[in-house]
């Protein structure tokens, strides 16, 4: 399984940007005995539609098939999809969009006895983020060092 998806990203990103879309994430995973290349794309301001996904899937597939040497020589299934409402927060521009939004944050190690927090992103800088979390009926501000964040995504508040 390839560890470095950078050549694939560099090859397909111009195709995606050329359709006024954004490459949100890509992953190469094995599920059961099948390999999958999953590419998540979005379009601002209202999200991506199924027709655009189908068109991009065709163009991205052609681009991948033309790459020499083949970055994925083993058979795989190509999946293009929207990241959905709970899209990942990875790039700096994602973090900026997340300001004031309700997010889910997973940590590498426990902070105040927990590894997972959900709350409103109040602020951020290069070193840390500030979340407003709810514990039962009270609200609390929590500062989390960015280097401790394993994953982050937009979340839906219940």
pLDDT tens readout for residues 42-100? 998 888 999 999 999 999 999 999 999 999 989 999 999 998 888 899 889 899 999 99
Cβ burial, residue 63 (10 Å; 0-12/13-18/19+): middle
Of 2-6, 84-88, 110-114, 134-138, which gets the smallest average pLDDT? 2-6
Query: Global pTM?
Result: 0.75
> CA-CA distance, 118 to 106, in Å (whole number)?
9
Residues of the chain above pLDDT 90, percent? 78
Q: Quick one: pLDDT band at residue 3, thresholds 50, 70, 90? A: low
**Pick from 22, 157, 40, 155: which is nearest to 86 by CA?**
155
Residues of the chain above pLDDT 70, percent? 98
């Amino acid at each position: 399984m390839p560890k470095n998806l950078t050549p694939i990203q560099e090859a397909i990103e111009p195709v995606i940007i050329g359709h006024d879309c954004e490459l949100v994430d890509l992953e190469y995973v094995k599920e059961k005995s099948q390999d999958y290349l999953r590419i998540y794309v979005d379009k601002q301001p209202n999200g991506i539609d199924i027709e655009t996904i189908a068109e991009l899937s065709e163009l991205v597939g052609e681009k991948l098939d033309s790459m020499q040497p083949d970055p994925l020589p083993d058979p795989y299934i190509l999946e293009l999809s929207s990241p959905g409402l709970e899209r990942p927060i990875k790039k700096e521009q994602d973090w900026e969009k997340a300001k004031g939004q309700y997010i889910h944050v997973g940590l590498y190690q426990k902070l105040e006895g927990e590894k997972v927090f959900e709350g409103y992103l109040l602020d951020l800088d290069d070193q840390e983020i500030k979340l407003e979390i709810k514990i039962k009926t009270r609200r609390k501000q929590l500062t989390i060092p960015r280097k401790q964040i394993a994953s982050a995504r937009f979340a839906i508040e219940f």
